[in-house]
Amino acid sequence: MDGSALDAVPSTEELLANFETDFWRDEKNRRSWNEIQVGEERETHPVTLTLKIIQDYARAIGDLNPLYFDEEYANRSRFGGLIAPPTIHVPLMFLCTTKSDWMRTPGTVNAGQNWYYRRPARPGDVVTLRARALDKLIRKGRMFVIHDNVFCDQNGQVLCSGRGWTIRPR
């Protein structure tokens, strides 16, 4: 990522304070199954990953691994410092996308996911997301979209890469 893109990174505090938690509110601006364009990139923005995001998520999944909480322990580990759990891509997906992103459509059901993990995300990383719809299909009356997500850090190094299936409510 070049310097100008990093200048545009919003403050995480502002991002969290302004996060729209009512997923109904922007529903009319979101694409339906028929409107989702295969191959098109979803709108995303970089997010500075904070220790609070990491630890709130780790607590919510009952994962109190010292690599996420104990700085001295983490410093002595082969990671050389605190890291995030692999599944930190879950909050990062919502934080890196916009309120009109179709992944927020109420009733979107997660049918399956696969993720490949290259390296751990760390507090302070400026994380970017490239996200697309890859395919759409109908099976037994259900409308599916297959998407992919690739998360990178501020050096352009891939953190993790995933693909998922969602069942679309409309």
Partner 1 sequence: MGDRQTEKASTNIMEFVVGAEFPSTHMDVTTDMIRRFAAASFDFNPLHLDPNWMADATFGKTKFGSVIGHGLMTYSLITRMFTDVLYPVGGWHERCEVRFKAPVLPGHRITASARITETKEIDGDLVYIAEVVASNQDGVVVASGDAMGRVPLDAAM
User: Which of 10, 80, 124, 169 touches partner 1 by CB under 8 A?
Assistant: 169
Strand partners, 150: 130, 161
Which of 169, 147, 167 has its CA nearest to residue 93? 147
Residue 95 near partner 1 by CB under 8 A? yes
User: Which of 9, 12, 23, 26 touches partner 1 by CB under 8 A?
Assistant: 23
Nearer to partner 1, 106 or 124 (CB): 106
**CB hemisphere CA count around 93 (13 angstroms):** 20
- What's the token pair of residue 165? 């299936």
Binding window for partner 1 (CB under 8 A); candidates: 30-38, 106-114, 121-129, 147-155 = 106-114
CA gyration radius for the chain?
17
H or E stretch covering 93: helix 89-96
Q: Which residues bind partner 1 (CB under 8 A)?
A: 19, 21-24, 56-57, 59-63, 65, 67, 77-78, 85-87, 90-91, 94-95, 104, 106-117, 141-142, 165, 167, 169
